Structure 1
């Protein structure tokens, strides 16, 4: 049975003085410098542990702790082997579902050979389909060991729901634990497993949708309505972080008024000076803000959902690759591994039409500034 954190610990970690959470953004944007800057300014910074070697993640935690005395959270991807939301028969080696999945991945690899040629790559640089492991764990066990031994104060999970034993283990080491949810049903199940807080992710969010069952289509219920549904399902005392298209102070005030403990913002921090966002993505965001590219005629950013890059639904600036590869299978991490070299080559070539550019619906409002200034703007103390 999970041990409930003390009320003081829960409050200090889930209700920051400046009620804004810098969302964990895996793949580069969420540096320890960004997390530390947001926490030092009174918000809550996060380190993205997904697709991060455990040794580097441990060093990031140590660097953030040296930079600020304020707590910084760590977010971990839940691998399919640890995700209780996936039916056992669908993940069994050699099952019909696994054979279909392998065939779909092989077919998708074949469809990407023209992309490799376009980028001047040797086709051999794309991994062979039979070498891609659906049960790869992203260092899950080692990261849990690090969280336990390092007594990380706040750990959250995305991409699924771990077993109650995982919550028991990290609660015993003193961690406050959270889960990203996209439906009220996911929320109640997360609490049943031992979650202390919930990050409620609306469809407006940039990056990956944390639908617990990766084969399910992501919901379309707008954040405001989803937040109300989750609150009704879990009761008044569970801390909720509200995520999805929050780019300005009015939106922050709206979710706080609706009962959220904090607004969780990712896209708003993509152009922060401390973020590890690539030069190519910064340029694309600048173009979206100027309305010259990746923008609708009304000036809003043109984003869409895709599985083309990773095999899990994610929202990004809509480009050619997304449009031409709408048939990508629901197969993370295989698709993510398959496109890794393509994404690297496209980034090196400055080809924004071929690389993933994760961002939410409010991407056109992202502005370059120090993280503290962006946080201040989200609180309404200066214009965004």
Structure 2
């Protein structure tokens, strides 16, 4: 674990990887230059563009002292050791039930498609075994000797950790329970991102069919610390994630034993972020109390599987409330709703598009990334 400690050092702020646009290489570089750890989000990113992002980030950080940034990979279901074999087997009863649940969900979305003037993908392209360029991304990480690589959406085989360790990478895993943390260390994780239920975006529950835990971040952090031990061979850097929006929040998790806070929502309005104009407007309205906010001014967020087939937290809108029957079927549901999300974004329809954000969204601020890092640093 000493390699992990020397790489991440004493940086208190990690910019959470946010797939789908917000995590640009410009944001990753700016956070790192400001003394944090920037991240690139590899999920749903073609490998050639990801390699370009890594090169651009490295170029922007040339000459920067302690220039640490990471790349986060989605673990596809066929590579996720937390999914039982019978659920992964083509043609199994579990797979047939899954396909039928996706078919029913697609039927329930036809009215949305007509309203937005789009066609929904047919069953023939909804592949539960889609790999998101997994092998190519692992090969790119090896060839490029990426210094820091983390996994979310599941737990790869120990052999994957062995491969990337041999290439010199420090490896992290996002966990949502003490049991997941122990298994991640058993497979070879060097860093654990402890994700509480307050976090925005997708929950990294390793078994995608499991119900996400509700243990608050501070309690979860204590449970993970107790499970993995401290001052022992299993001692490991812990990054705490979920609802952290200011220096007091960062200081709180550091005092509780985390080595850093991983913040995502706090960076959504950064000048360097690739957050869509529609989501920026929704977040600005939330911060001003004029939209997606409770009467007390706090952000109105909720968990949903409606957009992707995996549980995720976002600003609570009509689509989430009306489509509560989405099955646990990523990436099929994500592919299915893609045209709907694109059309809703183009139409400026914030009630129909995913607006991922954590419970602290009302405290989001528009500023350069360096200023946000300073605001977060105790």
Same structural fold, with TM-score higher than 0.5 when normalized by the shorter chain: yes
Unaligned runs of 5+ in 1: none
Shift of the alpha carbon at 1:118? Answer: 1.3
The structure 2 residue matched to 1:59, chosen from 34, 52, 58, is: 52
Q: What's the counterpart of residue 103 of structure 1?
A: 100
Number of paired residues? 370
> Deviation of residue 59 (structure 1)?
0.3
Alignment-derived partner of residue 87 in structure 2: 90
Partner of 2:71: 74
Check 1:12–1:67 CA distance in 2 against 1; reply closer, same or farther (3 A cut).
farther
Aligned twin of 1:220: 214
1:361 counterpart SS class: coil
Question: 1:44 is matched with which residue: 32, 37, 46?
Answer: 37
State the Cα distance separating 1:130 from its structure 2 match: 3.2
Q: Which of the residues 314, 319, 333 maps onto 1:316? A: 314
Alpha-carbon separation, structure 2, partners of 1:258 and 1:361: 20
Q: Secondary structure at the match of 1:326?
A: coil
Aligned pair partner of 1:291 in 289, 292, 295 = 289
* CA deviation map 1:319-338 (0-9, x unaligned): 00000000000000000000
1:44–1:72 Cα contact (<8 Å) kept: yes
The structural deviation recorded for 1:131 is 2.4
- Contact in 2 for aligned 1:271/1:367 (Cα 8 Å): yes
Runs of 4+ in 1 over 6 A off after TM superposition: none
Deviations, residues 317-368 of structure 1 (Å, cap 9, x unaligned): 0000000000000000000000001100000000000000000000010000
1:170 corresponds to: 164
Match in the other structure for 2:112: 115
Instruction: Provide the TM-score with structure 2 as the length reference.
Output: 0.97
Aligned position for 1:246: 244
Shift of 1:108: 0.6
3-state SS of paired residue (1:200): strand
1:210 and 2:209 are equivalent in the alignment? no
SS of 1:232 mapped into structure 2: helix
CA contact (8 A) 1:214 1:312 kept: yes
Contact 1:16 1:44 in 2 (8 A): no
Shift, 1:158, TM fit: 0.2
* Superposed displacement of residue 119, structure 1: 1.1
Aligned to 2:353: 355
- For the residue of structure 1 that corresponds to 2:208, the secondary structure is coil
- Is the deviation greater in 126-135 or in 303-312? 126-135
Which residue of 193, 212, 219 corresponds with 1:199? Answer: 193
Paired with 1:129 and 1:365, the residues of 2 have a C-alpha distance of 41
Shift of 1:10: 1.8
In 2: Cα distance, 1:13 partner to 1:200 partner? 19
Structure 1 length-normalised TM: 0.95
Q: Matched residues in 1 for 2:124 and 2:295: separation?
A: 44
The residue number in structure 2 matching 1:229 is 223
Distance 1:329 1:355 in 2: 18
CA–CA distance in structure 2, aligned partners of residues 39 and 133 of structure 1: 37
Cα distance per residue 1:157-179 (max 9 Å; x no partner): 00000000000000000000000
Give the corresponding residue for 1:364.
362
**Equivalent pair of 1:14/1:261 in contact (CA under 8 Å):** no
Structure 2: runs of 5+ lacking an equivalent? none
User: Distance between the aligned counterparts of 2:104 and 2:354, measured in 1?
Assistant: 21
Identify the match of residue 13 of structure 2 among 9, 13, 20: 20
Paired residues of 2:314 and 2:358 also in contact (CA < 8 A): yes
Distance, in Å, in 1 between the alignment partners of 2:72 and 2:236 is 19
Tell me if the contact between 2:8 and 2:68 (Cα under 8 Å) persists in the aligned partners: no
Q: Say whether the 8 Å CA contact 2:82–2:206 is kept in structure 1.
A: yes
Deviations 1:226-268 (Å, cap 9, x if unpaired)?
Answer: 0000000001121000000000111100000011110000000
Counterpart of 1:336 in 2: which secondary structure? helix
> How far has the Cα of 1:98 moved from its partner?
0.3
CA contact (8 A) 2:176 2:194 kept: yes
